[in-house]
Amino acid sequence: MSQLVTIFGGSGFVGRHIAQRMAKEGWRVRVAVRRPNEAMFVKPYGAVGQVEPVFCNIRDDASVKAAMEGSDAVVNCVGILANRGKNTFGSVQHEGAERIARIAAAEGVGRMVHVSAIGADAGSASHYAQSKALGEAGVLKHMPEAMILRPSVIFGQDDEFFNRFAAMARMGPMLPIMGGNTKFQPVFVDDVAQAAVMGIKGAASGLYELGGPEVKTLRGWIDEMLEVIHRKRAVINLPFGVGRLMAGGFGLLQAVTFGLWHNSVITGDQLILLRSDNVVSEGAKGFEALGITPLAPEAVLAEYLWRFRPSGQYDAIKDSARNMKI
């Protein structure tokens, strides 16, 4: 019988790319998610019955144990960008990650890959960064040979980076941002998946920081995105003080609506993260150590950002028509 990998959060942005690659490798893939009925799209990644979504709540021991039963390897891709109800940084990114590792060790699972993030730091003022670091420590406590991946901001078809700013650019002549001088090193989602596959198969272990081949400021990446979507916008880099007022106001609105309205604009924790560069640390092991050549954003941005152009897929045709001489 072929080997089995359980991917916690396997229907998410990174998880589904790992699931696709593992199905092509001939493994059986179990996609552990909170709403398996919304993850049926993963089934065609492989042959009939090869890829199966199953229910799992990583805050519950019994649920995690049932999801990984019989697995040869496990992957944890579960992560959140803001606290929401019972899904807090601590319960998901720290306790949830450690729970998966603890149960994997008890069940005799051979290998584990944990997707963390660049900037993970137990001493950070950011609760997100703290929880990522504590999650890594919890994983290594129980699975010391685990592979830990720390990607920079991830881009690809359904990313929350370029897609988000491209959508904002359609709303008016100005594009407000915060942390415009902060450096980022975007990494392609399938490159991260390729690294994870190496850990699943036992070809690599340890800590790797993953960044793409280019480093630019946030303002620099916004300018490149605007060029791709053929829009001219006045990019306004707002002071962090203004950001704190906005985050406080949105946080208050979320509180008074008892979470019915969720703050997906900017939080105080995200402002803290925006003060630090999101790039691979000097001397850290990365793609080169894994033998992977990372893809640059310019190679794929036009493939999925075209829908944000003024005329969508017909934008280039209209430009060409305007330049024709009669």
Is residue 8 pLDDT above 70, yes or no?
yes
Is residue 171 pLDDT above 60, yes or no?
yes
Alpha carbons 175 and 61: distance in angstroms, whole number: 45
Side-chain-side CA neighbours of 164 within 13 Å: the count stands at 13
Question: Hey, CA dihedral for 48, 49, 51, 56, is it positive or negative?
Answer: positive
The pTM of the full predicted model, rounded to 2 decimals, is: 0.93
Question: 124 near 259, Cβ under 8 Å?
Answer: no
Q: Domain ranges in the chain?
A: 4-157+185-213+278-294
pLDDT-based confidence at residue 92 (cuts at 50, 70, 90): very high
Is residue 325 pLDDT above 60, yes or no?
no
Residue (of 45, 68, 70) closest to 55 by Cα position: 68
Q: Beta strand 4-8 with 73-76: parallel, antiparallel or unpaired?
A: parallel
Q: Looking at residue 265, what is its pLDDT?
A: 83
79-305-222 Cα angle (round to 5): 75
Is residue 261 pLDDT above 90, yes or no?
no
Question: 52 near 30, Cβ under 8 Å?
Answer: yes
Q: Looking at residue 1, what is its pLDDT?
A: 62
CB atoms within 10 A of CB 84: 14
**DSSP 8-state code for residue 91:** I
pLDDT-based confidence at residue 311 (cuts at 50, 70, 90): confident
What is the residue-wise DSSP string for 206-243? EEEEE--S--EEHHHHHHHHHHHTT---EEEEE-HHHH
Is residue 177 pLDDT above 80, yes or no?
yes
The CATH superfamily assigned to 4-157+185-213+278-294 is NAD(P)-binding Rossmann-like Domain (3.40.50.720)
Q: What percent of the chain has pLDDT over 70?
A: 96
In whole angstroms, what separates CA 205 from the centre of its chain?
Answer: 20
The model's pLDDT over 203-236, given as tens digits with 9 standing for 90+, comes to 999 999 999 999 999 999 999 999 999 999 999 9
The residue to which tokens 């001489």 are assigned: 325
Q: Looking at residue 324, what is its pLDDT?
A: 61
pLDDT-based confidence at residue 180 (cuts at 50, 70, 90): very high
Q: Looking at residue 156, what is its pLDDT?
A: 97
The residue to which tokens 């980076």 are assigned: 161
Q: Looking at residue 243, what is its pLDDT?
A: 87
Question: What average pLDDT score do residues 65-87 get?
Answer: 94
First to last CA, the chain: 68
The model's pLDDT over 122-149, given as tens digits with 9 standing for 90+, comes to 999 999 999 999 999 999 999 999 999 9
Q: Which distant-in-sequence residues (6+ apart) come within 8 Å of 131 by Cβ?
A: 89, 90, 92, 93, 94
Based on DSSP, count helices (H) and strands (E) in the chain, helices before strands. 12, 13
Question: What average pLDDT score do residues 76-94 get?
Answer: 93
Question: 227 near 302, Cβ under 8 Å?
Answer: no
Where is 177: in which H helix or E strand? Answer: strand 174-178
Question: What average pLDDT score do residues 276-294 get?
Answer: 97
Question: What average pLDDT score do residues 260-276 get?
Answer: 89
Question: 235 near 222, Cβ under 8 Å?
Answer: yes
